[in-house]
Structure 1
Amino acid sequence: MRIAPLCLLAALLAGASSEAAVRYEIKNRRIEPRQTLAGALHEAQLPDTQVTAVIAALEGVFDFRKSRVGDQFRLVLRNGELDFFDYRQSMVDEWQVRRDGEKYVGSKRAIEVEKQVAVVALEIQTSLYEAAVDAGEDPAIGMVLADVFAWDIDFYRDVRKGDTARALVEKFVSKGRVLRYGEVLAAQYTGGLVGPKKVFRYVLPDGQPNYFQEDGASAKKTFLKSPLKYAHVTSKFGSRFHPVLQYLKNHNGVDYGTPIGTPVWAVADGTVTQAAYSGAAGNMVVLRHANGYETQYMHLSKFGEGIRVGSRVSQKQVIAYSGNTGRSTGPHLHFGMKRGGGYTNPLNQKFPRADPLPKTLLPDFLAKAQELAGQLEAVSVAAVAGQAPAAP
């Protein structure tokens, strides 16, 4: 939160009439736990009538239900009365209340955001996260890549030192800072374990975007490699010494260590056959898939929206959030897989790819993929059409 410069305050004071000096006071505050905006304004010692005026000015402009802990706000008082108020949730979400005569007027501040298309190049020495930081990128690019390669690469188990990744990706930038990444238009990953992978985004005639390999084969498989975008395996499938029961028993699944509240994906299209608390498994979701497969997701903190017995789910749909319920020694997700009624190791499965592009679309795809491949190999950042190229 920027504070008005002292030189500005000095200028304001210097310009004040000698008959009635103007006194400005600035208060910077944050929303605290279990605190409403009105409560925070009272806590900042703003008079009741002015608190009411601020809330009234923001009616219909700001959804007070979305106020959250850590939001910043600033009060500028002129001779003890509110002259200006601004409320900030992020670099692009900011609201203001200004004094206009005897009334206050609220508005959402317009933030200029530029969309660029950039080449991101990463070389992995320790982790995808560290590679992003070393390249001067937001670590969120790792999650973006994990999403694109979710069918072929587990970004915890499959990554090796010296692996490289490149992505042609949309960046939304404000004041020179990346706010978020948009669509990945093309990406390649060269790994010591997984080998070379390259995918291209292509919008089908029905408007649905999908990813395909260079020859038009689908990048998608019937099952994802992991039910989480990015998490580490803490216990594998097979016999193990149980940490709670204290004896050797079969571990019919894979445990992923992950913080409570991490989104859990459906690894394939399916139908919910269970979504309830289930003793030692805690909160559990069970999905039935094609070809006799079933997947289980245990120790969840809560279920995803609309997840109930009988509902249909799509691959990559968030069906739940990881937790620590049931017989559990710490936050994690237990992921189990059955085929034909018997448990099988999820990490050893080989699943087929989805249908390739129809032959009628292949020439158009190949032409567009060739163009994207050329941009992917470029070193400099290319701005979106209509914008001047950014400096390399």
Structure 2
Amino acid sequence: MTDSNHDAVLQGNLERARVNADRRPDPAAPHPFKGRWSRRQWAHASVLTTIGVLLAAIVPGFSSVLDTHNGPQLQKMTLQLTLPKLSRRASKATDDHWQTVTLKPGQTLSGVFEELGIPYDQLARVMQHPKIKPTLRRLRPGTELSFNLPADGSVRAMRLEPGPGIGELPIELEFDGDALRERAVPVEITTRTVVLTGEVGKSLFASARKLGLGSAQINQLTDEMFKYDIDFDSDLSENDRFSVVVDQTWKNGVLVNTGPVLAATFTVDGKVKSAFRFMRDGKPEYFTPDGRSLKRPFIRMPIPYARLTSGFGGRNHPILGAFRMHKGVDYAAATGTPIQAAGDARVAFVGQQGGYGNVVILDHGGGKTTLYGHMSRFAKIHVGQRIAQGTVIGYVGSTGLATGPHLHYEFRVNGVHMNPLKMTLPPPAPLSGADLVAFKSETHRALEKIHEVEDVVFQLDDGSRVASTAPAAKATAKTTGKSAGKRSRG
């Protein structure tokens, strides 16, 4: 190759190298986008986006300024407003701290103050307060005292909770500097109609008490409502059920009173027996769902749950040994068991009569009289006094010719002795007219309450149904042994 050709080739190579150098990217310049981002680019984008969102949320009007940079500029002004101060009572409520102490045997009020670290001068003021001073003498173990002790170590208020010696309402004292003021405690009183229901179990009395019924309500069930239809000593089994409708009074969420039984049902052997309370002529009576009185002119057993030991008719006298006519019936019971008047009556005789011992004779009118013998003592009754059915007239004993404590009970019509267990006398007149309408209206509420709890059928004496078309309550298998009724109270 000639020199001239060699120089031409070299010059061309140098020119091409210069052009390629102009096209090569600067190492310090960022790399151009190649169709996808690296992880570092994604991280940077996320950080920038987050910062932008936070600025838009925190700075008022930031986002709108970005969108309206070409629009009119708005003038903004910031004002400092003074907030009203909280009232003293409102600020106190924020740090109230109540602590309740129950007095123990031998514990005194001064001991409680010392235990809580309350200054003695506060105790002295409480001891001299005219409302508290007489109450302090009646404090007893179990009394509850509540103190408002805020976090600053002071005592703000003291409250004596309701209870024996205090009353039904709390007493609250408020400490304010050197002053001690009595403060009215708001009382919320509510009355609720409730249904208490359960199984008889081993003892009707125990089961009823567990449901919240007291002695008064249990006595209404056994001695007033169902005493003619249910023998509580032998008719009930453990699986039999009962439902009771009562009104309960609550004060500040605490049950303070349970009223009389408004309605009740017993399911015995799968059959429902029901009773409803209604005021007739100013006196409470119990009726069937169709308004017929459950009261009978005479009580079959003047002693509830006693045991019949000798019936009416001829027998060998247990003491005399001779065959004699037994002109009444005998019920064995413990000495001192109360004896009730079999019906409304006038007291005709109170005293002693030979083999009868201590005797009471009652005149029920229409030639009907009853005799109660062998009493240990008499109740506070006197000849000529008018008494109601169920009134206690005396107590079981063994005076006169008796082998043990029992009641000898006789029933006479125009002087002729009759078997008390077979006497059938017409019941009181049923409700009618306005009384029946009012009764139906009142019992409807009780029926609805019972049906809310148990699906039972209320049957009239003629077999028809009332207030429900549900199937009859299932008869549960009888368990071995009968409920002891009131005998299980002990």
TM-score (norm 1): 0.62
CA distance in 2, matches of 1:259, 1:115: 41
CA distance in 2, matches of 1:348, 1:220: 17
Residues 1:216 and 2:291 are matched in the alignment:
yes
Secondary structure in 2 aligned to 1:296?
A: strand
Bigger Cα Rg: 2
Shift of 1:312: 2.7
What is the match of residue 227 of structure 1? Answer: 302
**Alpha-carbon distance change, 235 to 124 in structure 1, aligned in 2, over 3 angstroms:** farther
- 1:12 pairs with one of 114, 117, 120: 114
What is the match of residue 259 of structure 1? Answer: 334
Shift of 1:201: 1.2
Partner deviation per Cα, 1:86-124 (whole Å, 9 max, x = no partner): 488x99xxxxxxxxxxxxxxx953146997644232433
User: After the TM superposition, which residues 78-117 of structure 1 pair with which residues of structure 2 at under 5 Å, given as runs?
Assistant: 85-86=137-138, 108-111=165-168, 117=193
What is the match of residue 79 of structure 2? Answer: none
Shift of 1:133: 5.8
Preserved contact between residue 191 and residue 249 of structure 2 (Cα < 8 Å): yes
Segments of structure 1 that go 5 or more residues without pairing to the other structure are 18-56, 59-82, 92-106, 381-392
Partner deviation per Cα, 1:324-361 (whole Å, 9 max, x = no partner): 32233333322221234332222222232201112232
User: After the TM superposition, which residues 53-64 of structure 1 pair with which residues of structure 2 at under 5 Å, given as runs?
Assistant: none
Partner deviation per Cα, 1:351-381 (whole Å, 9 max, x = no partner): 322011122322222121111111133339x
**Alpha-carbon distance change, 259 to 360 in structure 1, aligned in 2, over 3 angstroms:** same
What is the match of residue 44 of structure 1? Answer: none
Residues 1:164 and 2:221 are matched in the alignment:
no
- 1:298 pairs with one of 373, 383, 406: 373
Preserved contact between residue 314 and residue 324 of structure 2 (Cα < 8 Å): yes
Secondary structure in 2 aligned to 1:306?
A: coil
Residues 1:196 and 2:272 are matched in the alignment:
yes
Secondary structure in 1 aligned to 2:347?
A: strand
**Alpha-carbon distance change, 141 to 251 in structure 1, aligned in 2, over 3 angstroms:** farther
Secondary structure in 1 aligned to 2:445?
A: helix
Aligned length: 300
User: After the TM superposition, which residues 1-392 of structure 1 pair with which residues of structure 2 at under 5 Å, given as runs?
Assistant: 2-4=104-106, 9=111, 12=114, 85-86=137-138, 108-111=165-168, 117-129=193-205, 131-132=207-208, 141-146=217-222, 147-160=224-237, 162-170=239-247, 182-192=259-269, 195-204=271-280, 206-246=281-321, 248-308=323-383, 310-379=384-453
Secondary structure in 1 aligned to 2:453?
A: coil
Shift of 1:214: 1.0
Partner deviation per Cα, 1:255-291 (whole Å, 9 max, x = no partner): 3333333332211122222111122212111112234
Preserved contact between residue 157 and residue 232 of structure 1 (Cα < 8 Å): no
Secondary structure in 1 aligned to 2:355?
A: helix
Residue type matched to 1:156 in 2? D
Shift of 1:294: 1.8
**Alpha-carbon distance change, 142 to 255 in structure 1, aligned in 2, over 3 angstroms:** farther
CA distance in 1, matches of 2:190, 2:373: 42
Which is further off, 235-244 or 318-327?
Answer: 235-244
Which is further off, 145-154 or 232-241?
Answer: 232-241
Shift of 1:5: 5.9
Secondary structure in 1 aligned to 2:375?
A: strand
Structure ranking higher in helix proportion: 2
CA distance in 2, matches of 1:12, 1:340: 78
Preserved contact between residue 233 and residue 255 of structure 1 (Cα < 8 Å): yes
Residue type matched to 1:167 in 2? V
**Alpha-carbon distance change, 277 to 373 in structure 1, aligned in 2, over 3 angstroms:** same
CA distance in 1, matches of 2:297, 2:364: 10
Partner deviation per Cα, 1:119-142 (whole Å, 9 max, x = no partner): 232433555335436767556654
CA distance in 1, matches of 2:330, 2:346: 23
Shift of 1:249: 4.1
Percent identity reads: 33
**Alpha-carbon distance change, 271 to 375 in structure 1, aligned in 2, over 3 angstroms:** same
Preserved contact between residue 216 and residue 260 of structure 2 (Cα < 8 Å): no
Shift of 1:196: 3.3
Residue type matched to 1:202 in 2? F
Preserved contact between residue 217 and residue 260 of structure 2 (Cα < 8 Å): no
Output the aligned Cα RMSD: 4.2
CA distance in 2, matches of 1:3, 1:350: 59
Which is further off, 246-255 or 325-334?
Answer: 246-255
**Alpha-carbon distance change, 178 to 149 in structure 1, aligned in 2, over 3 angstroms:** farther
Partner deviation per Cα, 1:24-69 (whole Å, 9 max, x = no partner): xxxxxxxxxxxxxxxxxxxxxxxxxxxxxxxxx99xxxxxxxxxxx
CA distance in 2, matches of 1:246, 1:139: 44
Structure ranking higher in strand proportion: 1
